[in-house]
Amino acid sequence: MRLRLGGIALAVALAGAALAVHPPPAPGIPFRDFEAYYAAGATWRYHGDPYGRDVWRVEKTIPGVVAARDELLPFVGPPFGLPLWSAFSQLPWPRASESWGIVLALAFATFVAGSVRAAGRLVPIDVLAALIAGACFGPLTSGIALGQVAIVACAAIASVPLLLVPRMALAAAAAALAAGLQPNLALVLATQADGRRAIIALVTALAVAIGGSAVALGGVGGFAHYFEVLREHAAAERFIAIQTTVAAVARGLGAPAGMSAALAIAIAIVAIVAVALQARSGRYGPSERLALGCAALPLALPFAHEHDFAIAFLPAIVVARRARGGTWVAGACAAVAIGVDWLGLAQRPNELESTALLAAAVAVGIAMLAPQPLRAFHAAPLAVAVAVVPIGRWAAAHPLPTWPNQLASHLAFAHGSAAEVWRAEQLASGIGGLDPAWALLRALSLGACALLWGAGTFALLTSREAMPRSAPSSIPLRRPPATYPSV
């Protein structure tokens, strides 16, 4: 216990050192992605098109946005969420962003606690180690900094298995609905569709989402417009540098567009079929199925940014708590690697030192979750933190611009959809370019997910098989019949 407490103190010290050397934040507004949610809610409330260029009328009034140039940030979230964003938009921006910050803080705490609970334990020292690892986990911290609803979705996803108990059906359905605010992540809840209670909760959430979307869109006919928006936006952002998908990585490495798409589809099919087989095998419980699905999900997504990899935090904690020996080393190293914003090393080279220190803090936090007494091999994940330094120096030679700072005095054309304007902004800022170095950096995150999935496949299977099917105390003892003295 003392050794683990000392390790937690070391992780805190590393995180503090990372904050001390972290450079001042780049110019811009806090919770940048929340800007799009807020503007879409206001636009919908005033009967404008939240999926069109109307949102710019609201966005350019937000403090910190440069209204003299076009830096429209489009909204593509599910329609059933528009009433929620409309409620936030009734507050002035400062109060709305503060309120959203409180929601994100609660979601972060819920996601960490849910991840530890999925690992099978919820004791203070495990929660503390996971909190430190989560506070330094790149996708989580970047998602919170951007004000991303993905963090809320992750918390909801982690909560669903815990709510699939008697008299909690409505709560489970509500959690599944909240997960649907980030639909690409909510897909992993398909691993929980086992049993009558789970199916009812998921079907209820889906029905509410469809019905709510129809109401928000003004009728069923609005779905055609929404699906066209999704198609246009996906095409506009398909291969840009900030897309961390198999297709975008392959395209960045020089593969033709058609071949990149075909490769992505093939890998997605393999991942989906494999997870489906794992879910149906009966060898994994609900939490194990969810962990495996979360680890494999980034390999199958056609649309994913850095913050979407926050979903991998749950399997990272589960594997760290349940794996042993060489499997633990593989899973822990993968967890730390996913926690590094590798692409950010090219985009923000001045954050190299803080990134390495944060990775070291994640490595120590993960080690404190190990089920075995601490040994020398539990320090192996620190090698990932060490590798950040040379990789970061190499990445600095391939700088990636940031949006919207490199837009200069960009002005959009008068006509065109929001997706077309967004595509023009990508090209003007430089993030629409192709560079093999940027692709290799993103490949590190995808490869780490594959490694974590592989480690989890073995670790969670063997750990369940090692458990007795019933506790010894639950086995009735056969006693000889009692004999009584004759009277």
Q: What is the pLDDT of residues 199-222, one digit of tens each?
A: 999 999 999 999 999 999 988 888
Burial label, 397 (beta-carbon count in 10 A; 0-12, 13-18, 19+): exposed
What is the Cα 278 distance to its own chain's centre? 21
- Please tell me the predicted confidence (pLDDT) of residue 165: 86
- Please tell me the predicted confidence (pLDDT) of residue 410: 66
Does 464 score more than 70 pLDDT? no
Q: What is the pLDDT of residues 296-338, one digit of tens each?
A: 999 999 999 999 999 999 999 999 999 999 999 999 999 999 9
Mean pLDDT of 332-352: 95
Q: Which distant-in-sequence residues (6+ apart) come within 8 Å of 405 by Cβ?
A: 26, 27, 28, 429
Sign, CA dihedral 278-127-447-399, equals positive
| Percent of the residues in the chain that have a pLDDT greater than 70, as a whole number | 92
Tell me which of 474 and 8 has the higher pLDDT: 8
- Please tell me the predicted confidence (pLDDT) of residue 475: 36
Does 52 score more than 70 pLDDT? yes
- Please tell me the predicted confidence (pLDDT) of residue 315: 97
Mean pLDDT of 231-246: 91
Does 82 score more than 50 pLDDT? yes
Does 79 score more than 90 pLDDT? yes
Does 16 score more than 50 pLDDT? yes
- Please tell me the predicted confidence (pLDDT) of residue 483: 41
Does 243 score more than 80 pLDDT? yes
476's tokens: 């009735």
Does 480 score more than 50 pLDDT? no
203's tokens: 């079907």
| Helix%, strand%, coil% for the chain, nearest 5 | 70, 0, 30
Domain boundaries, the chain: 2-148+241-464
- Please tell me the predicted confidence (pLDDT) of residue 462: 62
- Amino acid sitting at position 79: P
pTM for the complete prediction?
0.91
The residue among 20, 470, 424, 22 whose CA lies nearest residue 240 is: 424
The SS3 assignment for 343 reads: helix
What is the overall mean pLDDT for the chain?
89
Does 471 score more than 70 pLDDT? no
Q: How far apart are CA 5 and CA 103, in angstroms?
A: 30
Does 456 score more than 60 pLDDT? yes
- Per-residue DSSP letters for 72-101? -------GGGHHHHHHHHTS-HHHHHHHHH
Q: What is the pLDDT of residues 147-174, one digit of tens each?
A: 999 999 999 999 999 998 888 889 999 9
Q: What is the pLDDT of residues 253-274, one digit of tens each?
A: 999 999 999 999 999 999 999 9
Pick the range with the lowest mean pLDDT from 62-66, 391-395, 456-460: 62-66
Count Cβ atoms below 10 Å from residue 40 Cβ, excluding itself. Answer: 29
